[in-house]
Amino acid sequence: MRRRIILMGGKTHVISLPLKWIKKYEIKKGQELELEEKENSILVSTESKPRLKEISLNLTNTDTGTIIKSIVTCYQRGYNSLKITFDKTTINHKTKKEENTQRIIENTCSQLIGFEITDQNENTIQIKDITSNSINEFKNILRRTFLMLNTFGQESHNFLKNGETEENLHEKHINIRKYTNYCQRFLNIFGFEDKTLQYTEILFNIEEISRTYRFITKNQPKLKKESLQLLKRTIELQDEFYKLFYKFNTTKSSELIKRRLELFQDINTFTQKAKKDDIIFMQRLPNILNALLSLTETTISINFEC
């Protein structure tokens, strides 16, 4: 996007702001905006919040998957108010059974931070956002998501090593998705300086790692100690990335990339002599390592300075 400088009164240089941004934040004549100089850039910001977005969804004659995905998509895209029309029951194609639609909607909202049902009757439900959506709230939840992902990795290792209960692992995965959904919603509403795309990539890779942990713990394979050790090293590398993200250092990022490559090589070496369960398991670890590489490269981009 480019704008031409206009000279007014022989001294004042003026530039127009994008109409889409003006309408989104309802900027009025005489309103003050915040300007922040960053070398050859100027960041223009406002304390105004975007206009509330409302939408009505007709989810009759649909299945459970469509209902869940529709609500989550509206949440991520930043809608503040949803009115949903639905049938009493809906088909779950996985189980091939009819399920109570209202219960499906209630369970979906329970996994979306701030989305609360404010009104309902036999075939309609009103959902509204009750959060403040502040930048500090976003930062706190993002950090909490990283910490939960690290715990998820450690508990996955303990489960595969010691056969501890698996019930809590599914809940961990659901909560991580709950927090990444909130963060994605915040980015779609407010953005994050000039780094919205990078933070979106961060969230995508967090979910990818979480999905992989959930997959490798759904069944409890009998793994050799070499497999468990490689998983432990992967989790330790993930923890090192967390430290890098919040205290960036180019030397540490280079070391992390080097250790990832060494771990990849050790996985390939072990896979050549491993048995079936271990081979299947080893095919999943690269998903985490590839996500960690993407997270590291994105963090370099976030902290890049000319």
Q: What is the DSSP string of 191-209?
A: --TT-HHHHHHHHHHHHHH
Q: Report the alpha-carbon distance of residue 85 to residue 60 in Å, rounded.
A: 7
pLDDT at 34: 79
pLDDT at 134: 78
Residue 218: is it exposed, middle or buried by C-beta count within 10 angstroms (0-12/13-18/19+)? exposed
pTM score of the predicted model: 0.78
pLDDT at 192: 87
* Count of CB atoms situated within 10 Å of the CB of 247: 8
Which residues are 80's β-sheet partners?
A: none
Domain 54-129 has CATH 3.30.110: yes
Domain ranges in the chain are 6-45, 54-129, 135-302
Burial pattern 57-78, b for ≥16 Cβ within 10 A else e, equals: bebeebbbeebeebbbebbbeb
Domain 135-302 has CATH 1.20.58.220: yes
* Count of CB atoms situated within 10 Å of the CB of 243: 13
Decide: 117 and 105 in contact? Cβ < 8 Å.
yes
Decide: 57 and 84 in contact? Cβ < 8 Å.
yes
Which residues, including other chains, have CB under 8 Å from residue 144's CB and lie 6 or more apart?
179
Instruction: Find where tokens 């309902």 sit.
Output: 120
pLDDT at 209: 97
Decide: 49 and 40 in contact? Cβ < 8 Å.
no
pLDDT at 166: 63
> What are the pLDDT tens digits along the chain (306 aa)?
777 888 777 777 788 888 777 777 777 777 778 777 777 777 777 766 666 688 999 999 999 999 999 999 999 998 989 999 999 999 999 999 999 999 999 999 999 998 999 998 889 999 998 887 777 889 999 999 999 999 999 999 998 888 766 668 888 999 999 999 999 999 988 888 889 999 999 999 999 999 999 998 887 678 889 999 999 999 999 999 999 999 999 999 999 999 999 999 999 999 888 888 888 888 899 999 999 999 999 999 999 875
